[in-house]
């Protein structure tokens, strides 16, 4: 049975929903009357999938391709960012003076550089210089169709592999700086008594960190790290500037070709929202279920 406090909040929530629905309705009505804009929502599903005239089957179209590219990009950037951030965080918290200096230099440099500048620098240096010298795309073209198919599913095809790798590297370095601070803060939150207790039973410093400190640290930082993954998904939109065919880039291409400005961008906004909101709610549920506090 709801008490008065719960009923009060329920009514407030209902009022908020009504106001939001009214605001959205007002926006669409004013768009139609003031700008004489003709909504064409019926064409949007065709940009997700289309029917192949040759095979007769359905194939993914630009929006669906961009959606899955965004997921691949975010997953790989998060994995590499986690590895880099964990190493940097450990160095910053318990490393030597030189290790702490390197960690702080990395964190402060990356956090004070716009992500757009970082992506462009990596594209023109890593992709155009380093990866071209490695001839990664040429090597991939010489592989079997099966290898190319797996690589295309996990990363990108031969024609776009260099740009994709450089985008992943740029995002990983950018996100790794923030992950480093999360990890460093988690390690420093463990009291020195934990170290001393482990040493008193004969554990070495590396074993103390691995078996005693790190499990406790992971409990502290697990959910903030999950939140950082959600942030990576949103930050991945910046790589559209180097023509990575993720969701934002595909949206710009469709808008330029169809002039369906509002339909395309509202759809893309909803796709980002569905992806990030579902993940954030899943993290919130897990945090509540497995809370160690």
Q: What is the pLDDT of residues 17-33, one digit of tens each?
A: 788 788 777 776 766 66
What CATH fold (topology level) applies to the domain 38-289? MetI-like fold (1.10.3720)
Across the range 166-187, mean pLDDT stands at 90
Contact criterion met (CB below 8 Å) for 63 and 254: yes
pLDDT for the residue numbered 177 = 92
Contact criterion met (CB below 8 Å) for 240 and 248: yes
Position 5 confidence tier, pLDDT thresholds 50, 70, 90: very low
pLDDT at 153 exceeding the cut of 80: yes
Across the range 185-192, mean pLDDT stands at 84
Judged by DSSP in three states, 259 sits in coil
Position 7 confidence tier, pLDDT thresholds 50, 70, 90: very low
List the structure tokens of 7.
């009923």
Residues 6+ apart with CB under 8 A from 85: 175, 176, 177, 178, 179, 180, 182, 183
Residues 6+ apart with CB under 8 A from 226: 279, 283, 286
pLDDT at 80 exceeding the cut of 90: yes
Rounded alpha-carbon distances, angstroms, from residue 70 to 118, 154, 246, 289? 18, 12, 5, 29
Report the C-alpha gap between 51 and 111 in whole angstroms. 45
Q: Among positive and negative, which fits the CA dihedral 205, 207, 212, 213?
A: positive
Q: What is the pLDDT of residues 89-141, one digit of tens each?
A: 999 888 888 999 999 999 999 989 888 888 888 888 776 677 777 788 888 88
Q: What is the pLDDT of residues 228-255, one digit of tens each?
A: 888 889 888 888 888 788 899 999 999 8
pLDDT for the residue numbered 1 = 42
Q: What is the pLDDT of residues 31-49, one digit of tens each?
A: 666 666 677 888 888 899 8
Q: What are phi and psi of 50, to 5 degrees?
A: -140, 160
pLDDT for the residue numbered 77 = 93
Contact criterion met (CB below 8 Å) for 43 and 32: no
Position 151 confidence tier, pLDDT thresholds 50, 70, 90: confident
- pTM comes to 0.81
Instruction: Identify the helix (H) or strand (E) that includes residue 47.
Output: none
pLDDT for the residue numbered 2 = 43
Q: Among positive and negative, which fits the CA dihedral 169, 170, 175, 176?
A: positive
Question: What's the mean pLDDT when you consider all of the chain?
Answer: 83
Contact criterion met (CB below 8 Å) for 233 and 276: yes
Contact criterion met (CB below 8 Å) for 177 and 110: yes
Contact criterion met (CB below 8 Å) for 185 and 107: no
């Amino acid at each position: 049975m709801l008490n008065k406090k719960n009923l009060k909040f329920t009514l407030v929530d209902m009022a908020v929903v009504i106001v939001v629905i009214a605001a959205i309705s007002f926006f669409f009505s004013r768009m139609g009357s003031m700008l004489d804009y003709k909504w064409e929502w019926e064409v949007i599903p065709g940009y997700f999938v289309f029917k192949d005239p040759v095979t007769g089957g359905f194939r993914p179209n630009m929006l669906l391709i961009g959606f899955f590219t965004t997921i691949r990009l975010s997953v790989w950037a998060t994995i590499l960012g986690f590895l880099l951030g964990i190493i940097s965080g450990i160095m910053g918290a318990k490393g030597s003076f030189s290790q702490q200096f390197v960690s702080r230099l990395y964190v402060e440099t990356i956090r004070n550089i716009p992500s757009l500048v970082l992506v462009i620098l990596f594209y023109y240096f890593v992709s155009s210089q380093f990866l071209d010298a490695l001839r990664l795309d040429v090597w991939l073209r010489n592989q079997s169709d099966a290898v190319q198919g797996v690589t295309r599913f996990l990363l990108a095809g031969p024609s776009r592999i260099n740009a994709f790798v450089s985008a992943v590297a740029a995002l990983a370095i950018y996100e790794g700086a923030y992950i480093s601070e999360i990890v460093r803060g988690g390690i420093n939150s463990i009291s020195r008594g934990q170290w001393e207790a482990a040493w008193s039973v004969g554990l070495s410093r590396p074993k103390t960190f691995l078996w005693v400190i790190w499990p406790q640290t992971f409990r502290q930082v697990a959910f903030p790290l999950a939140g950082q993954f959600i942030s990576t998904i949103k930050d991945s939109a910046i790589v559209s500037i180097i023509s990575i065919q993720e969701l934002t880039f595909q949206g710009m291409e469709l808008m330029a070709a169809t002039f369906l400005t509002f339909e395309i961008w509202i759809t893309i906004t909803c796709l980002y929202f569905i992806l990030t909101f579902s993940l954030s709610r899943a993290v919130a549920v897990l945090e509540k279920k497995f809370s160690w506090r």
